[in-house]
């Protein structure tokens, strides 16, 4: 092959590759244009899940209890109890089928029972993060407005007889119908109010004051005060205290009964605190304090059970701190609902979930005109003669 033939062959090959390159570019342009045309019409789609409807009965009883923090039987009762709320039950009028009422409750239970993000919950239930937020808010409001008064209420005089007997089984202390204490729920505090929400452990928190029975059922709740506020001041500003101040203690304690509170509280005829030990406490009074502690500790166990079941309360990371008290109250309603239905969560509760460090008893100007000193001496003589 001479030089001319080689040159001609090179020209032919060059022409061939240029044509192939143009075809490749032309095809790629078409591919890119088609891709852009297709993707321009694609919108973010959130698929409505049916798993909770179709698969919910595939869970074992133990798995359901662990995942949703209550038994299937208790869940069905909760659905029935909330079914009168029209806001949660929406009729289907075409278009996307609304999320079912039971699924809304399941989503909310998943939120209350775990320290995970709304995005993760939405991913599990195949709904958007905003949908999870709206559902949790709807269910929370329903629990606080429709169920709180029914399931967190003060006992009547007939019920007090039963509650007293349950408390007497602990250390034979007569007349007790409740233990009272404050518990701190750690939160993400507003940047402008960090100091107000900083508690004695230097955490940012909201206080929940609660009265409970020997069965760990809450009979009175006061929630919302910043963590810096002392327990005695929370008591003074609570609705329970105002009722006692305006109508007298007999309205709630029927001239017979009383609460047990730690040394942070004042000693009153309706609220008995322990003897303060300054190093010279008698053996009798130390023994009485032991009986007192054995009886009162149930409130610590109640808070531990509350946080152990509804683990969202271990750290309540909400952007709007004004919503926090409603979430806490909703969890308290669910706590009572489970116990009333004999739904016991068999799970180890971490020791640090108990907030059993008494505040130092300092004067907080809690002035109801009666003293518990005589009442406490009477109890001392009965229990440690």
Residue 58 has what pLDDT?
81
Is the same domain home to 101 and 188? no
CB atoms within 10 A of CB 353: 17
Is the same domain home to 64 and 129? yes
Is the same domain home to 144 and 178? no
Is the same domain home to 130 and 225? no
Is the same domain home to 124 and 160? no
Residue 361 lies in a domain: no
Listed residues 150, 171, 200: the one ending a domain: 150
Q: What is the pLDDT along the chain (385 residues), one digit of tens a residue?
A: 444 443 444 444 444 444 444 444 444 434 333 333 334 444 444 444 444 466 677 889 999 999 999 999 999 999 999 988 766 666 555 556 788 889 999 999 999 999 999 999 999 898 999 999 999 999 999 999 989 999 999 999 999 999 999 999 999 999 999 999 999 999 998 888 999 999 999 999 999 999 999 999 999 999 999 999 999 999 999 999 999 999 999 999 999 999 999 999 999 999 999 999 999 999 999 999 999 999 999 999 999 999 999 999 999 999 899 999 999 999 999 999 999 999 988 764 544 455 544 554 444 444 444 678 999 999 999 999 9
Residue 97 lies in a domain: yes
Residue 195 lies in a domain: yes
End-to-end CA distance of the chain: 129
Is the same domain home to 157 and 137? no
Residue 86 has what pLDDT?
60
Residue 55 has what pLDDT?
67
Domain count of the fold of the chain: 2
Is the same domain home to 198 and 310? yes
Is the same domain home to 109 and 183? no
Q: How many helices (H) and strands (E) does the chain have?
A: 17, 5
Residue 354 has what pLDDT?
52
Rounded to 10 deg, the angle between the 101-112 and 129-142 helix axes is 90
Is the same domain home to 237 and 198? yes
Is the same domain home to 334 and 263? yes
Is the same domain home to 126 and 164? no
Listed residues 119, 150, 181: the one ending a domain: 150
Residue 290 lies in a domain: yes
What whole-number distance in Å separates Cα of residue 20 and Cα of residue 9?
17
Residue 337 lies in a domain: yes
What whole-number distance in Å separates Cα of residue 265 and Cα of residue 383?
22
Residue 134 lies in a domain: yes
Residue 137 lies in a domain: yes
Residue 97 has what pLDDT?
74
Residue 25 has what pLDDT?
40
Q: Return the closest-CA partner of residue 300 out of 207, 176, 168, 180.
A: 180
Longest dimension (CA), the chain: 130
Is the same domain home to 253 and 226? yes
Residue 362 lies in a domain: no
Listed residues 150, 176, 208: the one ending a domain: 150
Domain extent for 72: 4-22+50-150
């Amino acid at each position: 092959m001479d030089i001319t033939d080689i040159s001609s062959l090179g020209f032919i090959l060059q022409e061939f590759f240029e044509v192939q390159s143009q075809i490749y570019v032309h095809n790629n342009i078409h591919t890119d244009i088609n891709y852009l045309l297709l993707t321009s019409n694609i919108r973010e789609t959130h698929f409505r899940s049916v798993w909770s409807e179709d698969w919910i009965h595939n869970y074992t009883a133990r798995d359901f209890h662990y995942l949703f923090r209550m038994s299937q039987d208790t869940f069905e009762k909760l659905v029935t109890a909330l079914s009168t709320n029209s806001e949660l039950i929406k009729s289907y009028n075409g278009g996307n089928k609304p999320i079912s009422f039971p699924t809304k409750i399941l989503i909310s239970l998943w939120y209350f029972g775990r320290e995970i993000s709304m995005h993760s919950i939405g991913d599990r239930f195949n709904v958007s993060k905003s949908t999870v937020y709206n559902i949790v808010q709807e269910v929370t409001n329903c629990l606080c407005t429709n169920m709180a008064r029914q399931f967190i209420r003060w006992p009547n005089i007939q019920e007090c007889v039963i509650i007293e007997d349950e408390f007497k089984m602990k250390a034979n202390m007569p007349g007790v119908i409740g233990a009272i204490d404050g518990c701190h729920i750690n939160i993400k505090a507003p940047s402008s109010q960090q100091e107000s929400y900083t508690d004695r452990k230097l955490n940012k928190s909201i206080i929940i004051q609660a009265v409970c029975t020997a069965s760990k059922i809450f009979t009175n709740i006061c929630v919302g005060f910043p963590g810096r506020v002392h327990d005695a001041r929370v008591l003074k500003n609570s609705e329970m205290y105002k009722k006692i101040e305006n109508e007298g203690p007999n309205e709630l304690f029927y001239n017979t009964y009383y609460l047990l509170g730690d040394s942070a509280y004042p000693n009153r005829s309706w609220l008995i605190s322990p003897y303060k030990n300054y190093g010279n406490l008698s053996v009798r009074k130390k023994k009485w304090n032991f009986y007192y502690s054995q009886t009162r500790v149930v409130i610590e166990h109640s808070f531990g059970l509350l946080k152990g079941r509804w683990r969202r309360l271990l750290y309540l990371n909400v952007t709007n701190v004004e919503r926090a008290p409603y979430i806490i109250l909703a969890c308290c309603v669910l706590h009572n609902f489970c116990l009333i239905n004999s739904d016991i969560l068999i799970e180890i509760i971490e020791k640090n979930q108990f907030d059993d460090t008494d505040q130092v008893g300092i004067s907080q100007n809690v002035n109801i005109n009666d003293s518990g000193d005589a009442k406490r001496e009477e109890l001392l003589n009965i229990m440690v003669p």
